[in-house]
Amino acid sequence: MSKALFDKYGGFKSVSRIVMAFYDKVLDSDQIGDYFDEIDMPKLIDHQTKFISALLGGPVSYSDERLRRAHASLELTHEDFDEVSRLLQESLAEHGFEPQDIKIVISEIEARRSSILSAGVV
C-alpha cells in the first residue's frame, strides 16, 4: 500500500487522535475492557498509533512475529478480535474516514487475525 491513506488522513497527529478515541471505546467495552486494567496506556497508545499508521502505509512496520509475541499471553478470542475491529471501524468513521478506506484498514487488520489470536483459538 502506498502512503496515500496515511497522508490522506493527516499522518501521525491524526492517527494519534483516532487511537485515543478508539481506546476510550475499548476501555468502556464490556467485551474487552478488562484486558486493559493493568496496561501502561500511554505506551500502548504510542504502539497502536505506530501500528495503525503502518496499516495506512505510514513509515512504520510491524512483523507478524512481533504481533504474536505482544498478544500471546492474552488468550484473545475471535469475539474479542471482532469487538476490536468493530470499535476501530466506529472510530475511523467518526474521524472522517471514507467507507472504502475503512474497508482497506479493516482488511489489513483481518489479515493479521491469526498472528494476534493465541494458538489454538477457534
In a domain, residue 74? The reply is: yes
> What string of pLDDT tens digits covers the 122 residues of the chain?
445 899 999 999 999 999 999 999 999 999 999 988 888 999 999 989 999 998 899 887 777 777 877 777 777 889 999 999 999 999 999 999 999 999 999 999 999 888 888 654 54
Backbone angles phi, psi at 20, to 5 degrees: -65, -40
With respect to residue 122, please indicate whether it lies within any of the assigned structural domains: no
CATH number, domain at 61?
Answer: 1.10.490.10
Long-range (24+ apart) CB contacts under 8 A made by 63-66 are 64/112, 64/115, 65/115
Read off the pTM. Answer: 0.86
- Tell me, yes or no, whether 121 lies in a domain: no
> Do the domain assignments include residue 60?
yes
Q: Is residue 84 part of a domain?
A: yes
Cβ neighbours of 47 (radius 10 Å):
16
Task: Determine the distance from the C-alpha atom of residue 62 to the mean position of all C-alpha atoms in its chain, rounded to a whole number.
Answer: 12
Residue 112 lies in a domain: yes
Structural domain of 65: 4-116
In the structure grid, which three cell numbers stand for residue 41, read together? 496506556
Question: What is the number of domains present in the chain?
Answer: 1
